[in-house]
């Protein structure tokens, strides 16, 4: 384990070349399982953002003119390169973020799937045309790129979240600036090595490392046309407001508190493994993690013992170790914050059924470990049932009916994802109809839509209109232009236009 200070300082990638940040301070990037120093990340400033945006603007006219089929072919090549580096990418995710290698491989798989969806751009970017809106007059809507598009990513998906945006943005003919999370900047270094080999025109894709200062410079920059943000709810709201005030197109995906409703007729063994995967996978650090179980009626007694036993059987350890079911959380600061949340829940009246604050002997002292935790006697009003903890902490709330359960779910200020576990079609129909959330699972515990469908929540989980990926990506990354035309020489263009029909 290296704890020396000789780890490399990461570069930005601007205008087709690796470029040091200008006079920036740096932050240490560490492996959360061991505390080992991995690299130093620069906290870039306004001058670095200026350089990246200038490169992206300069690249725009020529990239837009590369024909759309050729742009799609570059994405096919990108896919092949990502597949070839799949294991390196997954190991990088685990090393810098902590999730298990199995989970990291799935994350890389989802990123590749985004590229696959984006290769359909020559079809999905098509406009529409209607002949003879008046005699000899046609109307057509075409789609053109928006311009320079920037994306700002959170720590919990170092690989996937940037790919919710990058392939769709450049596929539609935009140029792109990425700011990864300063906590996990290493995986995108590998991605940009791959992009470099694609020989895209310089400036089509750019990488600026850093934190808040980079975000604010992007939000205020006249040269940036669109902003995609993924992160916590308070920052998502700030980003949405500031980008909109500056006249930019913006989508800002925020935090979550996802409820999983278990009906009395749920298939309990399958439900237990689903709940565990959702609550404790990635140590609870997914925006789609289920963090509140709402048991309906007798489901509570059928579920609790088995859920607690299966949770106690989980192995906590370094995510790179195949024996680990649950890796560390992202940092020691996050670990301590999560332990404080458990203490507070107990002070508020919750009962700890499985306690992740202890029993972690034998794990590296510098590791950011907190074990899976289950709390009962939780009421919907308690902070632990309302606020995002973003750790492996599962609160169990009781309801007597589906109607009461839906009321509990809908009182949350968040509305990202939610799941129901039941074999009853009428219950599902009712749930799907009434629940206020953007993504719903039926006997699926992490109902994150695949790349070909849109991804986003409602309420404080999302600020904007167009969701991430799926058909919404093409809507977000293109501007529509409608042309009304006639030709007198055709002998048909004699119809009246803009007069009473």
Give contact residues for ligand NAD (rule: CB under 6 A). Answer: 152-157, 161, 179, 181-182, 211-212, 215, 230-232, 235, 238, 253-256, 287, 388, 390, 416, 457, 461
Nearer to ligand NAD, 18 or 458 (CB): 458
From 149, 172, 287, 332, the catalytic residue: 287
Nearer to ligand NAD, 418 or 461 (CB): 461
Query: Shortest gap between Cβ of 122 and ligand NAD (angstroms)?
Result: 28
Nearer to ligand NAD, 156 or 419 (CB): 156
- The string of DSSP letters for 219-260 reads HH-TT--EEEEES-HHHHHHHHHHHHHTT-EEEEE----EEE
Nearer to ligand NAD, 216 or 265 (CB): 216
Query: Shortest gap between Cβ of 444 and ligand NAD (angstroms)?
Result: 17
d(CA 353, CA 376): 7
Can you list the alpha helix ranges (DSSP code H) found in 376-439? 383-386, 402-410, 425-434
Choose among 272, 290, 299, 259: nearest CA to 407.
Answer: 259
Whether 172 is catalytic: no
Query: Shortest gap between Cβ of 200 and ligand NAD (angstroms)?
Result: 23
d(CA 150, CA 159): 16
d(CA 418, CA 428): 12
CA 297 centroid distance within chain: 34
Nearer to ligand NAD, 329 or 420 (CB): 329
Instruction: Decide: 421 and 262 in contact? Cβ < 8 Å.
Output: yes
Q: What letter would DSSP give residue 446? A: S
Q: Closest-CB residue for ligand NAD?
A: 231
| Residue 398: φ, ψ to 5° | -105, 140
Query: Shortest gap between Cβ of 216 and ligand NAD (angstroms)?
Result: 6
d(CA 438, CA 462): 9
Query: Shortest gap between Cβ of 141 and ligand NAD (angstroms)?
Result: 30
- Would you please indicate which residues are annotated as catalytic (active-site) residues? 287
């Amino acid at each position: 384990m290296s704890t020396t200070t000789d780890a490399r300082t990461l570069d930005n990638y601007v205008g087709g070349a690796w470029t040091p940040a200008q006079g920036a301070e740096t932050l240490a990037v560490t492996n959360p399982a061991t505390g080992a120093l991995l690299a130093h990340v620069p906290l870039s400033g306004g001058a670095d953002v200026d350089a990246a945006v200038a490169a992206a603007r300069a690249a725009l006219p020529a990239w837009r003119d590369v024909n759309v089929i050729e742009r799609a072919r570059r994405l096919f090549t990108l896919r092949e390169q990502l597949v070839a580096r799949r294991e390196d990418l997954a190991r990088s995710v685990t090393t810098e973020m902590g999730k298990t290698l199995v989970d990291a491989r799935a994350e890389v798989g989802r990123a590749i799937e985004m590229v696959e969806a984006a290769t359909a751009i020559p079809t999905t970017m098509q406009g529409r045309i209607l002949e003879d809106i008046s005699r000899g007059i046609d109307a057509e809507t075409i789609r053109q790129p928006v311009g320079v598009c920037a994306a700002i990513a959170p720590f919990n998906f170092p690989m996937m979240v940037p790919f919710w945006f990058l392939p769709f943005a450049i596929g539609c003919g935009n140029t792109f600036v990425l700011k990864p999370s300063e906590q996990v900047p290493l995986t995108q270094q590998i991605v940009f090595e791959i992009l470099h080999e694609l020989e895209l025109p310089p400036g089509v894709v750019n990488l600026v490392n850093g934190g808040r200062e980079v975000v604010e410079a992007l939000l205020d920059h006249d040269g940036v046309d669109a902003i995609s943000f993924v992160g916590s709810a308070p920052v998502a709201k700030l980003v949405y407001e500031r980008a909109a005030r500056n006249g930019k197109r913006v989508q800002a995906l925020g935090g979550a508190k996802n409820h999983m409703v278990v009906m009395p007729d749920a298939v309990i063994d399958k439900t237990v493994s689903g709940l565990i995967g959702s609550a404790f996978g990635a140590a609870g650090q997914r925006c789609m993690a289920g963090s509140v179980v709402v048991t309906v009626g007798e489901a509570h007694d059928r579920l609790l013992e088995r859920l607690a036993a299966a949770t106690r059987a989980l192995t906590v350890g370094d995510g790179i170790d195949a024996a680990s079911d649950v890796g560390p959380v992202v940092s020691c600061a996050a670990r301590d914050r999560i332990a404080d949340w458990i203490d507070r829940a107990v002070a508020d009246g919750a009962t700890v059924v499985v306690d992740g604050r202890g029993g972690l002997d034998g794990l590296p002292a510098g590791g950011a470990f907190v074990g899976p935790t289950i709390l009962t006697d939780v009421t919907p009003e308690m902070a632990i049932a309302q606020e995002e903890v973003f750790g492996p902490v599962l609160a169990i709330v009781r309801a007597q009916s589906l109607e009461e359960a839906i009321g509990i779910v809908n009182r949350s200020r968040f509305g990202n994802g939610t799941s129901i576990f039941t074999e009853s079609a009428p219950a599902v129909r009712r749930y799907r109809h009434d629940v206020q959330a953007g993504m719903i699972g039926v006997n699926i515990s992490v109902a994150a839509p695949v790349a070909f469908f849109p991804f986003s929540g409602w309420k404080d989980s999302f600020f904007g209109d167009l969701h991430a990926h799926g058909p919404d990506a093409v809507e977000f990354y293109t501007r529509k232009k409608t042309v009304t035309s006639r030709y007198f020489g055709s002998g048909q263009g004699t119809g009246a236009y803009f007069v009473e029909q």
